[in-house]
Amino acid sequence: MAERRVRVLVGKPGLDGHDRGAKIIARAFRDAGFEVIYTGLHQTPEQIVSAAIQEDVDCVALSILSGAHNTLLPAVKEILVEKGAADIVLMAGGVIPEDDIPGLKKSGIAEVFTPGTSTETIVGWVRDNVTPHA
């Protein structure tokens, strides 16, 4: 039987225009052998979820630096659930205060990475926590 290639969507929800981090993560995922669907800036939660479903990704990784994480991340999770795609792992990275992380995890964000995290750590986390769809 052929093997699954891990597919990850990397995107930036909302209005902040800084995508350097997202690009670095996308590149690290590429070098780890994943197929990365990069959707670019200024995505609505609806667009992100539709793209994730059409691309049949195993994981959605969102970069967010605007401070709107408490609104946007749970919104993405909610739409994933609504569209029957709760199995897609949702993770995030960016400027996110430690105090907000427990709340985000409670609303279904699997992991949150803050500034200074190495790309190895993030790639390793995906390897350990994301199983490609059977």
Contact set with other proteins (CB under 8 A) = 1-5, 7, 26-27, 29-40, 43-44, 46-48, 50-51, 53-56, 83-85, 133
The answer to whether the beta carbons of residues 73 and 64 sit under 8 Å apart is yes
Q: How far is the CB of 57 from other proteins (least distance, A)?
A: 9
Query: CB-based contacts of 79: which residues, under 8 Å, 6+ apart?
Result: 45, 46, 49
Q: Which secondary-structure segment (H or E) carries 119?
A: helix 119-129
User: What are all long-range contacts of 109-115, with beta carbons under 8 Å and residues at least 24 apart?
Assistant: 109/73, 109/74, 109/77
Min CB(75)–other proteins separation in Å: 13
C-beta closer to other proteins: residue 41 or 101: 41
Closer by beta carbon to other proteins, 46 or else 120: 46
Q: Of 128, 61, 117, 133, nearest to 90 (Cα)?
A: 61
Taking the least distance from each CB to other proteins, the nearer of 67 and 132 is 132
Of the candidates 59, 45, 67, the one whose C-alpha atom is nearest the C-alpha of residue 111 is 59
Q: State the nearest-atom distance from the C-beta of 36 to other proteins, in Å.
A: 5
50 vs 70, beta carbon nearer other proteins: 50
Minimum Å gap between C-beta 88 and other proteins is 10
